Amino acid sequence: MSDAYNLLIERIKSINTLSSIAFLLDWDQEVLMPEKGVFARTQQMSLIAGLSHKRLISDETQSLLENAEDAQLNELQQANVREIRRIFDRQARIPTKLVRELAETSTNAKGIWAKARERVNFEEFSPALTKMIELKRRVADCVGYADEPYDALLDEYEPYAKTKDIETLFADLGSKTAALLRTIEQATDKPDASILNRHYPQQRQETLCRQLLEVLNFDFSSGRVDTSVHPFCTTIGGPGDVRITTRYLENFIPSSLFGTMHECGHALYEQGLPIEHLYTPLGEFASLGLHESQSRFWENCIGRSLSFWKAHYNKVKTAFPNVLSDASVEQWYGAINHVTPSFIRVEADELTYNLHIVLRFELERAMIRGDLDAKSVPAAWNEKFEKLLGIVPPNDREGCLQDIHWSMGLIGYFPTYTLGNLYAAQLLEKMKVDMPDFDELVTRSELKPILNWLRENIHRQGRRYRASTLIQNITGKPVSIEPFMNYVTAKISTVYGL
Which residues are the active-site residues? 263
> Is residue 411 within 8 Å of residue 106, measured between CB atoms?
no
Nearest to 471 by CA among 420, 407, 426: 426
CA distance 467 to 55: 28
> Is residue 360 within 8 Å of residue 403, measured between CB atoms?
yes
Nearest to 290 by CA among 465, 164, 433: 465
Environment class of 453 (CB within 10 Å of its CB; exposed 0-12, middle 13-18, buried 19+): middle
Nearest to 361 by CA among 402, 414, 410, 407: 414
- Distances, alpha carbon 113 to alpha carbons 30, 70, 403, 442, in Å: 12, 47, 9, 40
99-102: long-range contacts (C-beta < 8 A, 24 or more apart)? 99/49, 99/50, 99/53, 100/46, 100/47, 100/49, 100/50, 100/53, 101/46, 101/135, 102/49, 102/135, 102/139, 102/409
